[in-house]
């Protein structure tokens, strides 16, 4: 028995788990299958020698925020940057959530939205998506009017379903919520449109994005949001001083110079996603159309957990969602390189047929 107990809400918490195994083909955490360009790594290596290691970094990360803002046609005052978009989400919850406040989520969706709410003492109002995982507007109305959430989360493309919310849906939800609407676009660049086009100073909408997926930089832990400057100003009050180290700021500034390479990788992965989806449809599987760099599927002839274990035996790791509520029997596979995906498809075919 530990001598000191954490607060009850933490003691009862399960924590967030994403099991890693030592395998040949890792298709479980939606990372990019390829490294960033070699020229990026070289430029960053040169930067290491220029960092003033005995000084604190630029606390406001002004240059990085300016460069990210330029990607989206906004000024630095509309950009908040943190250690991965998870820290952006946590800062939103610390700022606009907390005891006595509620966030609304529509399940199934990214587990961290409600996990972070719990960690920050925020109540979670859980709405249900329709059977096909689309957003049910009657349910949105019900949850929003009952809970009056300070924050409402949408995830587009949604993790783990891959579904993209339409512009009409986001606009309609925006018209219903009493607080802030957060559209989590961790996979936004893989989708045909972005809610970034709805962001302006008068609208309580923020859009979060990350360098982890499309920028091939999960190891750097860098994410951001674009929103009204008055939201960004509040978040800056809450986040720890100097939370972004100097090298990370440099990494982000250098990375955005490689935008066209990033877009090329996204185009390749999107094409590969089409191939993988089509191949999955040839197998006895239910397959959900995806606007992200992963695909959700459910084997029809065998239990999902069993298929997951048989894939692991063949040194292939996908995400096992089969025991998650509403996702019984489902697995989620990240789009990998053509070789990795072929290995996955061959193994799955062997297991299922």
- Residues of the shown chain interacting with ligand PLP in the complex, contacts defined by CB under 6 A: 30, 84-86, 110, 155, 159, 184, 186, 210, 212, 218, 223
Number of H helices, E strands in the chain: 12, 12
Six-digit token pair at 217?
Answer: 């930089």
Q: Minimum CB separation from ligand PLP for residue 32, in Å?
A: 11
* Residues in CB range of 8: below 8 A, 6 or more apart: none
Task: Please report, for residues 5, 6, 11, 160, the alpha-carbon distance to residue 2 in angstroms, rounded to integers and kept in the order given.
Answer: 7, 10, 11, 36
Q: Minimum CB separation from ligand PLP for residue 22, in Å?
A: 20
Comparing CB distances to ligand PLP, the nearer of 210 and 322 is 210
Q: Minimum CB separation from ligand PLP for residue 194, in Å?
A: 14
Comparing CB distances to ligand PLP, the nearer of 160 and 351 is 160
Comparing CB distances to ligand PLP, the nearer of 87 and 341 is 87
Q: Minimum CB separation from ligand PLP for residue 183, in Å?
A: 10
Alpha helices in the chain (DSSP H): 8-11, 38-48, 62-72, 85-96, 111-119, 137-147, 167-176, 229-238, 246-255, 259-281, 304-313, 338-352
Comparing CB distances to ligand PLP, the nearer of 97 and 347 is 97
Comparing CB distances to ligand PLP, the nearer of 223 and 304 is 223
Q: Minimum CB separation from ligand PLP for residue 151, in Å?
A: 14
Please identify which residue in the block is written with the tokens 């250098």: 254
Please identify which residue in the block is written with the tokens 């047929």: 353
Comparing CB distances to ligand PLP, the nearer of 89 and 144 is 89
Q: Minimum CB separation from ligand PLP for residue 333, in Å?
A: 14
Tell me the torsion sign for CA atoms 61, 90, 129, 29.
Answer: positive
Q: Minimum CB separation from ligand PLP for residue 106, in Å?
A: 13
Count, residues in the chain: 353
Comparing CB distances to ligand PLP, the nearer of 224 and 258 is 224
Contact of 255 with 41, CB cutoff 8 Å: no
Comparing CB distances to ligand PLP, the nearer of 179 and 223 is 223
Contact of 310 with 210, CB cutoff 8 Å: no
Q: What angle do CA 192, 196, 202 make, to 5 degrees?
A: 145
Query: CA-to-CA distance for 286 and 296, rounded, in angstroms?
Result: 8
Pick from 106, 293, 70, 82: nearest CA to 183: 106
Q: Minimum CB separation from ligand PLP for residue 81, in Å?
A: 11
Comparing CB distances to ligand PLP, the nearer of 152 and 347 is 152
Contact of 196 with 169, CB cutoff 8 Å: no
Q: Minimum CB separation from ligand PLP for residue 218, in Å?
A: 6
């Amino acid at each position: 028995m530990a001598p000191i107990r954490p607060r009850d809400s933490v003691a009862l918490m399960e924590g967030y788990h994403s099991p890693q195994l030592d395998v040949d083909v890792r298709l479980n955490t939606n990372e990019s299958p390829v490294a960033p360009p070699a020229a990026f790594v070289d430029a960053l290596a040169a930067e290491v020698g220029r960092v003033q290691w005995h000084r604190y970094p630029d606390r406001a990360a002004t240059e990085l925020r300016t460069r990210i803002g330029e990607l989206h046609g906004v000024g630095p005052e509309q950009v908040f940057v943190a250690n991965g978009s998870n820290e952006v989400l946590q800062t939103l919850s610390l700022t606009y959530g907390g005891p006595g406040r509620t966030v609304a989520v529509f399940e199934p969706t990214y587990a961290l939205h409600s996990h972070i709410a719990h960690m920050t003492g925020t109540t979670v109002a859980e709405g249900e998506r329709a059977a096909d995982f689309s957003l049910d507007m009657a349910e949105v109305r019900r949850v929003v009017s009952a809970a009056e959430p300070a924050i409402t989360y949408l995830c587009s493309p949604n993790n783990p379903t891959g579904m993209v919310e339409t512009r009409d849906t986001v606009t309609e939800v925006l018209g219903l919520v009493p607080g802030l609407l957060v559209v989590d676009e961790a996979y936004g660049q893989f989708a045909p449109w972005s809610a970034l086009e709805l962001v302006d100073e008068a609208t309580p909408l923020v859009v979060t994005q990350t360098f982890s997926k499309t920028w091939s930089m999960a190891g750097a832990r860098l994410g951001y949001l674009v929103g009204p400057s008055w939201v960004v100003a509040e978040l800056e009050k809450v986040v720890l001083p100097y939370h972004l180290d100097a090298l990370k700021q440099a990494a982000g500034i250098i990375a955005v110079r490689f935008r066209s390479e990033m877009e090329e990788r996204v185009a390749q992965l999107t094409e590969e996603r089409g191939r993988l989806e089509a191949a999955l449809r040839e197998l006895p599987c239910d397959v959900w159309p995806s606007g992200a760099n992963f695909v959700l599927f459910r084997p029809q002839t065998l239990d999902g957990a069993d298929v997951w274990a048989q894939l692991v035996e063949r040194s292939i790791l996908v995400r096992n969602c089969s025991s998650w509520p509403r996702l019984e029997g489902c697995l989620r596979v990240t789009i990998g390189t053509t070789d990795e995906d072929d290995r996955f498809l061959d193994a799955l075919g062997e297991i299922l047929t």
